[in-house]
Structure 1
Amino acid sequence: MLDFIQKNAEPLISFGISVLIFFGFFLVSKLFQYKMVPVLRHLFSKLKGNFATRLLERINLPLSTFWLLIGAQIALSRLFPQNVLPVSLTHIFRSGYALLVGWTACNLVDLIPILPQLNWNNSEAIKKILRRILKALILAFAVVIVIGEFGYDVNGLVAGLGLGGLTISLAAKDSAANMFSGLLLLIERPFELGDWISCTAAEGTVEDISFRSTKIRTFANTVSVVPNSVLCAGTITNVTRMEMRLSKSTIGITYDTPRDKIEKVIAELREMLTTAPDIVSDTVQVRLTGFGASSIDVLVQYYTSVTAYKDWLAVTERVNFDILSIMRSNQVEFAFPSRSIYIEKNGQ
């Protein structure tokens, strides 16, 4: 029994030391994450600006993971001859470090001042898309490093994907189309966040312009997510940018109304509209435009200086009440769809 213990003592001691080493690095990781970081955050909060605090928050988890990775590598290396890890484990740890660096770099991207001089309303959306592109590139480089670390030829791997590569290419094509369409929308600015727009896919208020799509809140208070490539492919009408808003209607007058009453009603309507508030006077058109099946048609057309839908409805309502008063004061009746039937008597 004593011989067995003496023979296996050295491996057991080495294993125990490895466990203690890993446990020590584990404690360092947790102490850094839950003790040192709060203390540093409290100290940095007293400084002007919050860059140091934001930096600390973004490197907290990656740096804590780094201590665990270092501890695992040192602990495992003691279990092999001459404290040297096998090639396979070396590749695994090096790949882990590459992914860890990529993770840290992606977290730090949010701290980079991208286009600081840009003061457009869509500037935050543009910066968000650019940061996402940068993060995607960083992760792509990290994955390429990991693949190369295991001895694979990245170019040969992509070329050998066959049908899978074609599928990925087609998916990437759609994603790239949406991405560049989003950048085009943000640069050309046919609309901005908060604008009311109308397109082939939806109509409503623009809530967000992202890497892939644009979110539009519709009249029904639902959110339509429209791919940017679809949005760019059609016509976009920006209702918010109207300088004036059109109001157009047709009044039907009965055929038995005398001409002088019709002329008087038209004159009073024209006078009422040209002097009314919130109406652009030189856009007023009140004209007898034709003869319908059961009415004499009078066009009432004008532009309001208010363009918001709620305000436009209020102006239109006020005008309609004034039209009603003018018609009644002149004893002119509104026509309604009707049909006259003539019956012939036999022998006459």
Structure 2
Amino acid sequence: MRVPASLIALLVLFAAFPGTSSAQLPLGEPQGTTQAAKDPFDRETPRSTVAGLIKALAERNYLLASHYFASEDDDSARIAEQARALQTSLDAGGTLTPFAELSNDPAGRLNDGLPLDVERVGTLGGEGQTPILLVRSSPESVEGDSAGSQPSIWRVSGETLAALKAQPRDLDATVSPEEEFLVLGAPLRDWGLLAGLLVVTFGAFWLLSWLVLAGLRRLQSDPDASGPFQFLHAALPPLSLFLAVIAFRIWGNDLPVAIVARQTMLRYVGVFAWVALAWFAIRMVDAVAARLTRRLGSHERRQAASAVTLARRAIKLILAAMAFIAILNTIGVDITTGIAALGIGGIALALGAQKTVENLVGSVTVVADRPIQVGDFCRVGDVLGTVEDIGMRSTRIRTNERTVVTIPNGDFAARQIENYSQRDRYLFNPVIGLEYGISAARLRDGIGIIEAVLAEHPHVSEDPRRVKLANFGASSLDIEVFTYITVPDFAESLGIRQELLLAILERLDEAGLPIAFPSRTIYLRPENAAASPQPAEEVEA
């Protein structure tokens, strides 16, 4: 049954916005109950507070930035001046904790040794390394709202503002937007310095890894067969990117550039860190799987090699999904709603992807039940050929015509599978016809000759081994042979079969017992046969 795409989209939207349904209300709570309102400046967590503050500073909207201060001053102009002073201090060497390391919990970090309502998020510029602290408090209730309807918010503490006020500063040293070209709230020169540092750092680590691999390649007589070299070859490129990100985060914080550029670059450079980790894990999985497959292939454990291939693909898919979720979290996409929606969204996905799920289950069945292995010659339904690959979705078979037939694993597991490669012996069951006209004694001699040929060959099974007169055929006396050729290789069995047939033919010729061929006896009757008692003329064709 196909589910309409519109229904699937509706289910996903329903899962993505659980708060829009009255069914989400707790039992016993009336539908008109007022829920906690969302803070208009998004200050519910330390991460969102710092992100909102940086956005306001990037826009040079110091009045907006002042809403992130826990100031007792009622003069908005003086508070906005404090915001400008904070940006000047941060540009002059202050630091902020990178976005991904900030707590996204409304309660903040509980194990940092600070009071529960205090969070450290950076340091001010200048001497002393004064910490930048956030404090959690409940905002004044607005008209028409009760105090309980307002969420707790995080703002820059009054202690930090007092330390900022006590710092000597020159607000005129801040370059105005009219004097320098700004990109996303920071001078273009600062963006260039940070991007150049990232490129130079990655280039240096990549060159170092290339030199290490080149040196090891010269030292190894056969580097392709060396396990340590293969693992280093897989690990060093992503490690060079990861180390470059770490070095950039250490050195980038010390560059004399605008805090907006620094914080933005440090936020999004985390994407490269997750890409490097996922790249490293995937390359290591490939290296380990290649080494295991090579060893299993040398021991002719082809089914285990197929399981390794399937496990490699599944692990890589899981790693890619985890990296994707981590990257979304790094760039600030709220994934909690998406994770909460997996229940209903998973049902919608299952309904829309029934065949895909069926094929995945079929692939597990094929690997677990092991009806075939990669390299086996088999017949699946009406497809005859050699198995080339058992994947997560389908199995590929190369036919004798050299075409490739792809069968979904769901259908594959449900079909009748005949595996020729698992035969331990091959049936030898010819029917040998001798000519009519020989006596019963001569026929017994022919049967004995065939029995002797079979008994003399070392690769013919003793049990069963039958040579019997099977039938009076239309043109011959049919002798049926039933036994097995005891070799596992198909090509070798064909050679032995040929030897047996030639030996039987030679012995029968020597005994004067010719092999019959299709023949027909025709009796010709003259036109006056009814009046003439003479026998008809016999002609053999």
Q: TM-score, normalised by structure 2?
A: 0.51
User: Structure 1 residues 339 and 65 mapped into 2: Cα distance closer, same or farther (>3 Å)?
Assistant: same
Q: What is the aligned-residue identity percentage?
A: 20
CA distance in structure 2 between the partners assigned to 1:314 and 1:82 by the alignment: 77
Partner of residue 169, structure 1: 353
Instruction: Tell me the residue number matched to 1:15.
Output: 188
Label 1:299 to 1:61 Cα distance change in 2 as closer, same or farther (>3 A).
same
- Alignment partner, residue 60 of structure 1: 237
In 2: Cα distance, 1:139 partner to 1:296 partner: 70
**Structure 1: which amino acid aligns with 2:235?**
R
CA 40–114 in structure 1, closer or farther in 2 if over 3 Å, else same: closer
**Counterpart AA for 1:58:** A
SS at match of 1:132: helix
Q: 1:285 to 1:20 in 2, by over 3 A?
A: same
Tell me which amino acid in the other structure corresponds to 2:477: I
CA shift for structure 1 position 203: 3.6
Name the residue aligned to 1:109. 285
Shift of 1:94: 5.4
Residues 225 and 265 (structure 1 numbering): CA distance in 2 closer, same or farther, change over 3 Å?
A: same
Quick one: structure 1 residues 329 and 236, their matched pair in 2 at CA, closer, same or farther if it must change by over 3 Å? same
Query: Offset of 1:62 from its aligned partner?
Result: 6.4
Whole-angstrom CA distance in 2 between matches of 1:289 and 1:15: 97
Cα displacement string for residues 168-223 of structure 1 (whole angstroms, at most 9, x for unaligned residues): 522431342243124314xxx44444444343254444444343444444444554
Task: Work out the CA distance in 1 between the residues paired with 2:203 and 2:268.
Answer: 23
CA distance in 2, matches of 1:318, 1:336: 21
Describe the superposition over 1:35-66 as per-residue Cα deviations: whole angstroms up to 9, x where unpaired. 21123335666699754762464352464378
CA distance in 1, matches of 2:465, 2:201: 79
**Counterpart among 310, 322, 327 of residue 141 in structure 1:** 322
2:208 equivalent in structure 1: 36
What is the 5 A alignment of 1:106-255? 106-110=282-286, 121-122=301-302, 123-147=304-328, 149-151=332-334, 153-155=337-339, 165=349, 168-185=352-369, 189-255=370-436
User: Which protein is bigger by CA-based radius of gyration?
Assistant: 2
Indicate the SS of the match to 2:460.
coil
How many angstroms apart in 2 are the aligned matches of 1:26 and 1:331? 91
Query: Is 2:464 the partner of 1:283?
Result: yes
1:291 maps to a residue whose letter is F
Q: Which runs of 5+ in 2 are unaligned?
A: 1-174, 533-541
2:475 maps to a residue whose letter is S
Instruction: Please give the alpha-carbon distance, in whole angstroms, between the structure 1 residues aligned to 2:423 and 2:243.
Output: 56
| Residues 261 and 330, structure 1, Cα contact 8 Å, conserved in 2 | no
- What corresponds to 2:61 in structure 1? none
The whole-number CA distance in structure 2 between the counterparts of 1:263 and 1:62 is 81
Give 1:263 shift: 1.7
Q: 2:506 aligns with which of 325, 329, 336?
A: 325
Structure 2 residue 439 is the aligned partner of structure 1 residue 258: yes
Secondary structure (helix, strand or coil) at the match of 2:430 reads: strand
CA separation of 1:100/1:247 partners in 2, compared to 1, >3 Å: closer, same or farther? same
Single out whichever of 92-101 and 321-330 deviates more from structure 2.
Answer: 92-101
How many angstroms apart in 2 are the aligned matches of 1:173 and 1:291?
Answer: 57
Across the two proteins, how many residue pairs are aligned to each other?
336
TM-aligned CA deviation for residue 272 of structure 1: 2.2
Q: Which residue of 1 aligns with 2:481?
A: 300
Which residue does 2:158 correspond to in 1? Answer: none
* Separation in 2, partners of 1:59, 1:207: 32
CA contact (8 A) 2:191 2:261 kept: no
In structure 2, what is the equivalent of residue 339 of structure 1?
Answer: 520
Give the deviation of 1:264 after TM superposition. 1.5
Structure 1 unmatched ranges of 5 or more: none
Q: Aligned-pair distance for 1:248? A: 1.0
C-alpha RMSD over aligned residues: 4.3
Select the structure that is richer in helix. 1
**TM-score under structure 1 length normalisation:** 0.75
Task: Give me the whole-angstrom Cα distance separating, in 1, the residues matched to 2:479 and 2:177.
Answer: 112
Alignment-mate amino acid for residue 237 of structure 2? N
Shift of 1:81: 5.6
Secondary structure at 2:301 match in 1: coil
Instruction: Give per-residue Cα distances to partners, 1:208-263, cap 9 Å, x unaligned.
Output: 43434444444445544444444432343443333332111112223222222212
